[in-house]
């Protein structure tokens, strides 16, 4: 199984005629994803690699079942595009765009909650359920994606799109596949945190362990530690904490907009402590992750792949 998407998931791409979106469309189609339409106002009637382009979301949702949407529109238009998708019944949004005003992201998240929709991102590369579908740019071209990702039982969540792929590659090289991998987004405000995605992995019987890639800044690791402790999570978790050097540089930003260390609670050392106290294993190096995953699976009586 998988979370969020599978081989039957249908989705659209908003902003499909943009340069990056055109490349993404081809990559997703080549991987086998089911893209049923694209939206760029004023360019209806065209097509992108055979995917019909419409002026509005409603033109597609009245004709097709649409499970999700990938948003690649410029920052100034993301809120309107997201509202249009949510108000037309789309339940899964992947926002690739970065540099969206925080207030507007908060408004999108609130509307999504009111309509029972799930938001991934912004500033993310999307989702992949290996061998089934991908929404977004994770893994790049389909041929490269197939080399890195393979179906299996390890869930992957990362604030960095590139590190989602790096970790999945390390797992595959060690014979461990992924149930689903999610690039959750690197901005200060995002739609779905580690803790908010955990129940989905918990409900997937084929997911046996979780790997997360994390960075200094923000409350997500504390939230994850609390979730694991309060819910007696069945899933062993292995984490890698980047940016440990930032502990000596308060106020510095590492990589993403959401990695500003504003106090002791945001430091790598503090986060590592909280994760460890919750029973989450913390790897020193990316290369250590597969070994730790296998150790945790073995300790929990699960057979590694």
pLDDT tens, 59-110?
999 999 999 999 999 999 999 999 999 999 999 999 999 999 999 999 999 9
How much is the average pLDDT of 138-149? Answer: 97
Homologous superfamily (CATH) of 1-124 is NAD(P)-binding Rossmann-like Domain (3.40.50.720)
Q: Are strands 118-120 and 92-95 parallel, antiparallel or unpaired?
A: parallel
Q: Where are the domains of the chain?
A: 1-124, 150-305
**Which residues share a beta bridge with 11?**
35, 68
Q: How far apart are CA 39 and CA 61, in angstroms?
A: 11
Q: How far apart are CA 189 and CA 261, in angstroms?
A: 15
Residue 266 has pLDDT above 80, yes or no: no
How much is the average pLDDT of 117-134? Answer: 98
pTM of the predicted protein model: 0.92
Task: Give Cα separations from 167 to 84, 131, 161 (angstroms).
Answer: 34, 17, 10
- Of all residues in the chain, what percent carry a pLDDT higher than 70? 91
Sign of the CA dihedral with 213 first, then 197, 112, and 134 last: positive
pLDDT of amino acid 243: 67
Q: Token digits for 176? A: 């461990």
Averaged confidence pLDDT in the chain: 92
pLDDT of amino acid 242: 86
* Catalytic residue (one of 159, 256, 271, 296): 256
Residues sharing a CB contact under 8 Å with residue 151, sequence separation 6 or more, in sequence order: 129, 130, 131, 132, 177, 178, 179
CA angle 293, 299, 304 (to 5 degrees): 50
- pLDDT band, residue 208 (cuts 50/70/90): very high
Peptide bond into 122 cis (omega under 30): yes
- Of all residues in the chain, what percent carry a pLDDT higher than 90? 85
Residues 202, 207, 208, 209, Cα dihedral to 10° = -80
Task: Give Cα separations from 270 to 139, 217, 247 (angstroms).
Answer: 32, 10, 9
- pLDDT band, residue 251 (cuts 50/70/90): low
Phi, psi (degrees; rounded to nearest 5) at 113: -65, -40
Q: Token digits for 303? A: 């057979």
- pLDDT band, residue 247 (cuts 50/70/90): very low
What is the CATH topology of the domain spanning 150-305? Rossmann fold (3.40.50)
Q: How far apart are CA 222 and CA 277, in angstroms?
A: 11
| 3-state DSSP assignment of residue 32 | coil
Task: Based on the residue annotation, tell me whether 256 is a catalytic residue of this protein.
Answer: yes
Residue 244 has pLDDT above 70, yes or no: no
pLDDT of amino acid 289: 98
Task: Give Cα separations from 180 to 26, 103, 122, 133, 157 (angstroms).
Answer: 21, 30, 19, 10, 9
């Amino acid at each position: 199984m998988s979370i969020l998407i599978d081989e039957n998931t249908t989705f659209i791409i908003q902003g499909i005629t943009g340069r990056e979106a055109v490349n993404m469309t081809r990559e997703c189609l080549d991987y086998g994803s089911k893209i049923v339409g694209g939206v760029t106002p004023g360019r209806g009637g065209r097509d992108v690699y055979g995917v019909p382009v419409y002026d509005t979301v409603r033109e597609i949702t009245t004709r097709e079942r649409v499970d999700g949407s990938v948003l690649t529109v410029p920052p100034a238009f993301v809120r309107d595009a997201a509202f249009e998708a949510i108000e037309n019944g789309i339940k899964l949004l992947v926002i690739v765009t970065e540099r969206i005003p925080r207030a507007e992201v908060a408004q999108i998240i609130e509307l999504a909650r009111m309509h029972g929709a799930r938001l991934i991102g912004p500033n993310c590369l999307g989702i992949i359920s290996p061998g089934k579908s991908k929404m977004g740019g994770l893994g790049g071209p389909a041929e490269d994606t197939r080399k890195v990702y393979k179906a299996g039982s390890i869930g992957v969540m990362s604030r960095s799109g590139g590190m989602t792929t790096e970790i999945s590659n390390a797992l595959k090289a060690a014979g461990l596949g992924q149930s689903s991998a999610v690039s959750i987004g690197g901005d200060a405000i995002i739609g779905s945190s580690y803790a908010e995605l955990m129940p989905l992995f918990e409900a997937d019987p084929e997911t046996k362990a979780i790997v997360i890639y994390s960075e200094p800044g923000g409350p997500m690791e504390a939230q994850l530690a609390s979730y694991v402790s309060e819910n007696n999570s069945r899933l062993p978790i292995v984490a890698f904490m980047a940016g440990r050097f930032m502990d000596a540089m308060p106020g510095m930003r590492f990589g993403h907009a959401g990695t500003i260390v504003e106090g002791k609670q945001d430091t790598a050392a503090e986060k590592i402590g909280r994760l460890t106290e919750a029973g989450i294993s913390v790897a020193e190096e990316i290369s250590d992750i597969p070994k730790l995953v296998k150790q945790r699976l073995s300790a929990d009586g699960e057979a590694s792949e």
